[in-house]
Amino acid sequence: MEQPEQATIREATEADLAAIIEIAKATGQEEDWTSVFPAYVRHLIAHGRLLVSTREDDVIGFGGTRQIGAWPREVSMLTDLFVDPAAHGAGTGRAILDVLWAQQPRKMTFSSLHSNALPLYTSFGVDAWWPLLYLGGEVTRLDRPAGWSVESAEPAEVAALELAWTGADRTADHQMWAARPHGIGMIASRNGHPIAAGTGGGVAAEYGISHLVMTRTGEADSADVAGRGADQAWLAADAVVAVLSWLKPTPTRARIAGRMAASASASARTSASGKSPSRPAIRSALRFLRAASAVLPWSVTVTKATRPSAGSEPRATRPRCSSRWMS
């Protein structure tokens, strides 16, 4: 009996775009296949890393990473990992991930709801950290918090603030997000001090905040905010509400992408050791989630995120997985 040809993993090129789209569709993804998703794939090829697995010249899977943060805390973010359903069970996802995460001591992703995704990721030394909330609702129901203002901004302005606050240069990413339909950059200030900056956009149910980052030090003054003080979690929640109340979607619904929650609480991603978040950081992150939930009377979907790893030994598991990241 003739054995199937061994799969080969290589760097993706523009010529693979059509095959990548077909695999994404086959795994149940819903995207703008004519402009947004092709632009996203090209962005990964140019500014990240995108691999494809091929067998007999046919693309059977793809995966991508983007380096996030600044050295020495830079993290390899798994942005995508999709395998053609017809090729499941053959180790394709693991083989792609083996290459993407080789020599990457710090890594993370946002786990999909696929039952086999999380076991695969944990076998590479990451573990489940916290739920991520995807919230969507009527922005006209939100009142802007007192003292807050929001202004539109060019991608370069937003990226400059993120660089100053986090040390990470994400200019190319903000340019990509702003280029989407209805894309717009924004800076949220409290009492005249910039507190958060990001980019939003999208169409229909996808319209909302694509990426929002907050200064780690909080506001320059420590004036009381409705009796809460300048607590970082409440500042983050107020920043989110301020931005959402400023957006003008048509129709009036907008959403917060789940990864935004992690970005707004960037200090909670990991402890100084890189192995696990500190207890104060976890408490701050949970306060942010509670605060956001309390002020956003919206529908909620919960998924799981994974924590950056210092690189423990992989454990054997059978991969049948998918992952998705757009911010």
DSSP assignments along 95-157, one per residue: HHHHHHTTT-SSEEEEE-S-TTHHHHHHTTT--EEEEEEEEEEEGGGPPPPTTEEEEEE-HHH
Q: Given pLDDT bands bounded at 50, 70 and 90, which one contains residue 286?
A: low
Whole-number pLDDT of residue 254: 67
Query: Is 162 found in the same domain as 57?
Result: no
Query: Is 138 found in the same domain as 119?
Result: no
Q: Does pLDDT of 316 surpass 70? A: no
Range from 36-50, 132-146, 189-203 carrying the lowest mean pLDDT: 132-146
Q: Given pLDDT bands bounded at 50, 70 and 90, which one contains residue 224?
A: very low
Q: Is 2 part of any domain?
A: no
Q: Does pLDDT of 223 surpass 70? A: no
Query: Is 120 found in the same domain as 145?
Result: no
| Full domain range(s) for residue 17 | 8-126+308-324
Q: What is the mean pLDDT of residues 266-275?
A: 33
Q: Which residue has the tokens 């998705």?
A: 324
Query: Is 150 found in the same domain as 103?
Result: no
CB atoms within 10 A of CB 97: 25
Range from 65-79, 141-155, 194-208, 257-271 carrying the lowest mean pLDDT: 257-271
- Among residues 149, 119, 70, the alpha carbon closest in space to that of 306 is found at 119
Whole-number pLDDT of residue 59: 96
Q: What is the mean pLDDT of residues 188-210?
A: 90
Query: Is 93 found in the same domain as 166?
Result: no
Query: Is 149 found in the same domain as 278?
Result: yes
Q: Which residue has the tokens 């946002």?
A: 110
Provide the β-strand partners of residue 188: 150, 196
Range from 62-71, 136-145, 164-173 carrying the lowest mean pLDDT: 136-145
Query: Is 159 found in the same domain as 188?
Result: yes
Q: Does pLDDT of 200 surpass 70? A: yes
Residue 188 CA from chain centroid, whole number: 20
Domain count, the chain: 2
Query: Is 139 found in the same domain as 122?
Result: no
Question: How is residue 205 written in tokens?
Answer: 């149910």
User: What's the CATH number where 52 sits?
Assistant: 3.40.630.30
Query: Is 291 found in the same domain as 185?
Result: yes
Query: Is 105 found in the same domain as 236?
Result: no
Question: How is residue 220 written in tokens?
Answer: 């320059």
Query: Is 251 found in the same domain as 119?
Result: no
Write the pLDDT tens digit of every residue in 226-254: 445 456 778 888 998 999 999 987 776 66
Q: Is 1 part of any domain?
A: no
How far, in Å, CA of 136 to CA of 266, rounded? 22
Whole-number pLDDT of residue 95: 95
Q: Is 13 part of any domain?
A: yes
Whole-number pLDDT of residue 232: 72
Q: Is 3 part of any domain?
A: no
User: First and final CA of the chain: distance in angstroms?
Assistant: 46
Q: Is 212 part of any domain?
A: yes
Q: Which residue has the higher pLDDT, 127 or 212?
A: 212
- Among residues 155, 206, 159, 153, the alpha carbon closest in space to that of 36 is found at 206
Query: Is 142 found in the same domain as 106?
Result: no
Whole-number pLDDT of residue 225: 45
